[in-house]
């Protein structure tokens, strides 16, 4: 793809010359084409007649001889004699651009275009605009060329590439498809379109395109790597591994680079595991509720946990809460992650010491920004603070840096709230839970601490919010509104099936979901609804708003329908605080039981049901019995004020008691052990 302005512009628009002059100029052109620029230059200098054509050719010979100042002088002379000389303008602008004089290049091209319309002039102007960051203007120039010369290959190719760089991937793919159709002999558009289709998640299309590239260019390692990734992302692990093996033989340097990127700092020296690529790609599809590979997702995830590969496992730690796994499988994965993290992390040691009168679990009101420190330096900084207890609110979520905790910067380390799973890590002493949210005996590697009521703390500030009108939210005033404003990646096909069955039995109702402006998500869910016989217009989508407005608007719904594998955590608490009852069905993992813990502790135990059938039946019952639903709302209006999730003062007292007990065990030289806060004295 051409990136620098080109000097080629068709026939020069020269003034008439004598036949003798034309013959001499043609001889000079022949010499120039033969590579004898010096002879061509000498011949041109022997011509006594000045003309724009002679000056242009002198500029071309000077350029060929690397005499850039001379070339600029000669091209300028050609333009002085003929301001509409498109070739000279293109050539001179190209030299300006190469010297970084982009403003002069742009001005020259614009001046010439004002005198003569020429595709190459406009193309070069578009390239200069790209280089100066004028993206919209560059795209417009390419579009102008294509409007009157639709087959202009370079203009469409550059436009497609620029759209791709601007992350306008769908538009870029459309341009590349035209190139593939109209210029099938050109391989680069096939390759670029294949890469785009891979990025867009159109794996079969990517495989077809990249395979065509390799048929034409068997040694194209870049295409072979992309083809291997496309097969992996599409769940064809066997084909993917075969392509990776071929890449290793054919282009070992590229294979090694790909292996290092995938295996990262925590992976081992080994191979490339196509299963890990599949799992990483699927998480992005779940964000758009693309469930095409859902059955394969669970199958490959479980297979990977049974026998993990050499890649960096941390990126799939969060995804384990979305996947159809049981808690023993989740714990096994987390142990694998912890083993990778610990392998290269030295630990600090802490000798038992008496517990101080006032524990240091934070460092007063100060905020310590560790983002500029590497893991070891960050851990050393925390250790130097002399904390008694360090609390991890992320575990393996949110760009986690578990190596910091693995270094043991504090004598007692606790996981709480952020990662709804066990860390599987020997450096994490305790995990905060409660009697409802714990999925079963042996679910965690840490010593389990059970808080009274509910482990989850939201602490919404002030009184419950004023609820906006439905009309202001785009909701129908006369319909029953089921809602689930959870992160869309938590919606899996089985719970969506359940929701659609509920809507089918509740004809005067709609389902309110969160979209955050994602068009693919909206299209996918509307299509899934239509496939299940539900009018897609009954799905209403909420866009992103401020946190306070998000909490308040949830009170406009009639009933919150919780997701299954990964419950609403903050969102279900916010729904209750806003006054909307929430229906939930606990599962077999910590993340799938958080809703039950919050709802039950908020005083609505009948909305915690044990089966999917009971979930559907309760939703239908509340749709039909509005008085019963109103009674639940009235009860919630009072009970939420005392619910543990929102009672920060009471929860703080429980946590302080728990921290004191942990620290005293350490002072006594005792290992971490499970306990319930309610059983502690005092």
The pLDDT, as a whole number, for residue 310 is 85
Per-residue pLDDT for 546 more than 90?
yes
CA triple 544-495-417, angle to 5 deg: 60
User: Which residues have C-beta within 8 Å of that of residue 564, sequence separation ≥ 6?
Assistant: 492, 494, 495, 498, 585, 587, 592, 612
Q: What length does the chain have?
A: 682
**47-94 tens-digit pLDDT:** 888 899 999 999 999 999 999 999 999 999 999 999 999 999 999 999
pTM > 0.75 = yes
Per-residue pLDDT for 7 more than 70?
no
**221-254 tens-digit pLDDT:** 999 999 999 999 999 999 999 999 999 999 999 9
Span 371-400, mean pLDDT?
A: 92
**443-465 tens-digit pLDDT:** 999 999 999 999 999 877 678 88
**429-439 tens-digit pLDDT:** 999 999 999 99
Span 269-283, mean pLDDT?
A: 92
Domains and their CATH numbers in the chain:
19-195 (1.25.40.10), 230-343 (no CATH), 356-457+649-682 (3.40.50.11380), 470-639 (3.40.50.2000)
User: Which residues have C-beta within 8 Å of that of residue 290, sequence separation ≥ 6?
Assistant: 201, 520, 524
**Max CA pair span of the chain:** 113
Per-residue pLDDT for 586 more than 70?
yes
Is residue 11 a contact partner of residue 198, using CB atoms and an 8 Å limit? no
Is residue 48 a contact partner of residue 17, using CB atoms and an 8 Å limit? no
Number of H helices, E strands in the chain: 29, 10
Is residue 40 a contact partner of residue 61, using CB atoms and an 8 Å limit? yes
**492-523 tens-digit pLDDT:** 999 999 999 999 999 999 999 999 788 999 99
Note every long-range contact of 131-137, with CB atoms under 8 Å and residues 24 or more positions apart, other chains counting. 131/97, 131/102, 132/102, 132/103, 132/106, 135/162, 135/166
Q: What sign does the CA torsion over 52, 55, 59, 64 have? A: positive
Whole-angstrom distance, CA of residue 190 vs CA of residue 208: 9
Per-residue pLDDT for 579 more than 90?
yes
- Give the whole-number percent of the chain exceeding pLDDT 70: 97
Instruction: State CA 378 to chain mean position distance.
Output: 26
Alpha carbons within 13 angstroms on the beta-carbon side of residue 315 total: 19
Whole-angstrom distance, CA of residue 602 vs CA of residue 591: 18
**628-682 tens-digit pLDDT:** 999 999 999 999 988 999 998 999 999 999 999 999 999 999 999 999 999 999 7
The pLDDT, as a whole number, for residue 393 is 92
Is residue 181 a contact partner of residue 151, using CB atoms and an 8 Å limit? no
Per-residue pLDDT for 8 more than 60?
no
């Amino acid at each position: 793809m051409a990136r620098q302005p080109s000097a080629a512009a068709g026939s020069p628009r020269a003034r008439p010359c004598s036949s003798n002059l034309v013959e001499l100029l043609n001889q000079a052109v022949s010499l120039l084409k033969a590579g004898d620029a010096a002879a061509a230059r000498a011949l041109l200098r022997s011509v006594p007649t000045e003309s724009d054509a002679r000056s242009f050719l002198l500029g071309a010979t000077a350029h060929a001889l690397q005499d850039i100042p001379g070339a600029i002088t000669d091209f300028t002379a050609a333009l002085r004699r003929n301001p509409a000389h498109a070739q000279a303008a293109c050539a001179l602008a190209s030299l300006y651009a190469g010297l970084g004089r982009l403003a002069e290049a742009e001005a020259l091209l614009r001046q010439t275009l004002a005198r003569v319309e020429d595709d190459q002039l406009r193309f070069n102007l578009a390239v200069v605009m790209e280089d100066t960051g004028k993206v919209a203007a560059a795209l417009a120039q390419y579009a102008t060329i294509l409007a009157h010369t639709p087959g202009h290959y370079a203009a469409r190719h550059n436009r497609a590439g620029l759209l791709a760089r601007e992350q306008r991937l769908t538009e870029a793919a459309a341009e590349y498809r035209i190139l593939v159709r109209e210029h099938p002999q050109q391989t680069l558009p096939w390759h670029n379109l294949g890469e785009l289709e891979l990025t867009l998640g159109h794996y079969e299309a990517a495989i077809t395109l990249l395979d065509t590239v390799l048929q034409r260019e068997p040694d194209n390692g870049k295409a072979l790597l992309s083809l291997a990734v496309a097969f992996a992302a599409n769940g064809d692990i066997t084909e993917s591994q075969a392509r990776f093996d071929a890449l290793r033989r054919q282009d070992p340097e590229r294979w090694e680079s790909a292996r290092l990127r995938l295996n990262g700092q925590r992976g081992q020296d080994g191979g490339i595991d196509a299963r890990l690529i599949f799992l990483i790609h699927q998480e992005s599809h779940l964000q758009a509720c693309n469930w095409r590979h859902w059955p394969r997702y669970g199958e490959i995830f479980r297979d990977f946990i049974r026998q993990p590969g050499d890649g960096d496992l941390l990126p799939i730690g969060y995804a384990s809460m979305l996947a159809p796994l049981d808690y023993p499988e989740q714990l096994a994965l987390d142990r694998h992650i912890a083993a990778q993290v610990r392998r290269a992390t030295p630990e600090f040691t802490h000798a038992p010491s008496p517990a101080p009168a006032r524990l240091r679990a934070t460092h007063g009101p100060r905020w310590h920004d560790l983002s500029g420190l590497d893991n070891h330096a960050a851990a050393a900084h925390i250790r130097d603070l002399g904390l008694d207890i360090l609390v991890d609110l992320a575990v393996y979520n949110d760009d986690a840096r578990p190596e910091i905790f693995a270094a043991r910067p504090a004598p007692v380390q606790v996981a709480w709230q952020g990662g709804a799973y066990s860390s599987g890590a020997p450096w994490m002493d305790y995990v905060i839970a409660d009697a409802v949210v714990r999925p079963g005996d042996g679910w965690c590697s840490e010593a389990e601490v059970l808080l009274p009521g509910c482990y989850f703390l939201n602490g919404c500030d002030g009184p419950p919010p004023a609820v906006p009108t439905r009309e202001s939210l785009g909701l129908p005033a006369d319909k029953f509104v089921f809602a689930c404003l959870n992160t869309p990646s938590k919606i899996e096909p089985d719970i969506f099936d359940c929701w659609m069955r509920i809507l089918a039995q509740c004809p005067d109702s709609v389902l309110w979901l969160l979209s955050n402006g994602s068009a693919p998500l909206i299209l996918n869910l509307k299509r899934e609804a239509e496939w299940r016989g539900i009018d897609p217009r009954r799905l209403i989508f909420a866009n992103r708003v401020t946190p306070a407005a998000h909490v308040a608007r949830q009170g406009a719904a009639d009933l919150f329908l919780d997701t299954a594998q990964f419950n609403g955590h903050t969102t279900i608490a916010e729904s209750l605080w806003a006054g909307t009852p929430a229906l939930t069905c606990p599962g077999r993992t910590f993340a799938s039981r958080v809703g039950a813990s919050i709802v039950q502790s908020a005083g609505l135990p009948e909305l915690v049901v044990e089966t999917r059938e009971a979930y559907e039946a309760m939703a239908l019952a509340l749709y039909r019995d509005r008085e019963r639903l109103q009674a639940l709302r009235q009860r919630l209006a009072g009970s939420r004020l005392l619910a543990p999730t929102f009672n920060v003062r009471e929860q703080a007292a429980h946590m302080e008691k728990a921290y004191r007990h942990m620290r005293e065990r350490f002072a006594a030289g005792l290992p971490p052990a499970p306990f319930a806060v309610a059983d502690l004295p005092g």
